[in-house]
Structure 1
Amino acid sequence: MAANNPYKSYQQNSVLQSTPGELTLMLYNGCLKFLNMAKKGIENNNIEMKNINIQKSQNILRELMITLDMSVPVSESLQVLYEYMIHQLVEANIKNDPTLIDEVSGYITEFKETWKQVIQMNRQQQYTSVGEI
């Protein structure tokens, strides 16, 4: 019987106990990590590393698309942006173009920063509401 990996247990618990907003933030962080690794793959002429990490980033973008609440008007705009980013990553993969990866990283960074602000505002509202009781 293999010993439990405490780091893996911590990661699993943090995902299970996270809010939807925190999970979205984790996806953005993961996407940025894989985009950076894909860019390193291009710089080091490591085609396999580039391809695998671009595909991981595309999978995260697809997951973000699936989780969109299409009853919210902004979701249609986000869906179009996610589709555009996936297309740019296909082009980056074919052309070995790190500037296209940088473009997608820029968008993801903006989304990540926005989500961080939303999470902070929600927490402040929750704490304010609890203080009023």
Structure 2
Amino acid sequence: MAQQQYQAYKNNSVNTASPGELTLMLYNGCLKFIKYAKKGMETEDFQMKNTNIQKAQRIIQELMVTLDPKAEISKQMMPLYDYIHHTLMNANIKNDVASLDEAYGMVEEFRDTWKEVLRQTRKQQHGQGARA
């Protein structure tokens, strides 16, 4: 019963999230899957490692697809996402924890930056709303 309620809550939070919040969820999910992949490497559970690296790669691919090709920032982000994707692939093929750690660090930096952008945006929106 509690599991069903939690799943309903999760589904609702995704369905009602803004695009910015969804991006944050993607970053957080990617980090979670990289952590699981690392645990799989450390315990020599190669199926766990492989499955979770592939999930992290799919999130990076989704982030790549959702970039606005007209935006200048997209031209800077695309090669970085491509690099993370390639690094995850290398980590999977070579069982390389260092590559996983590198990918994790980059995604974590993007996530933290994105979190700050959302915080600043909310602050501006609420600040403007108070003046009106």
TM-score if structure 2 supplies the norm length?
Answer: 0.96
Distance 2:16 2:70 in 1: 26
State the Cα distance separating 1:50 from its structure 2 match: 0.4
State the Cα distance separating 1:9 from its structure 2 match: 0.9
Equivalent pairs: percent with the same residue?
49
User: Given the alignment of the two structures, is residue 54 of structure 1 paired with residue 53 of structure 2, yes or no?
Assistant: yes
Q: Which residue number in structure 2 is paired with residue 5 of structure 1? A: 4
Q: Which residue number in structure 2 is paired with residue 14 of structure 1? A: 13
Distance 2:89 2:111 in 1: 22
Counterpart AA for 2:70? S
Q: Which residue number in structure 2 is paired with residue 31 of structure 1? A: 30
State the Cα distance separating 1:16 from its structure 2 match: 1.2
Distance 1:23 1:48 in 2: 28
Distance 2:126 2:87 in 1: 41
State the Cα distance separating 1:44 from its structure 2 match: 0.5
Give unmatched runs, 5+ long, in structure 2.
none
Secondary structure of the residue aligned to 1:68 is coil
Q: Aligned pair count?
A: 132
Higher helix share: 2
User: Given the alignment of the two structures, is residue 90 of structure 1 paired with residue 89 of structure 2, yes or no?
Assistant: yes
Backbone CA RMSD of aligned residues: 1.5
Q: Which residue number in structure 1 is paired with residue 121 of structure 2? A: 122
Distance 1:130 1:64 in 2: 31
Q: Which residue number in structure 2 is paired with residue 111 of structure 1? A: 110
Distance 1:121 1:17 in 2: 20
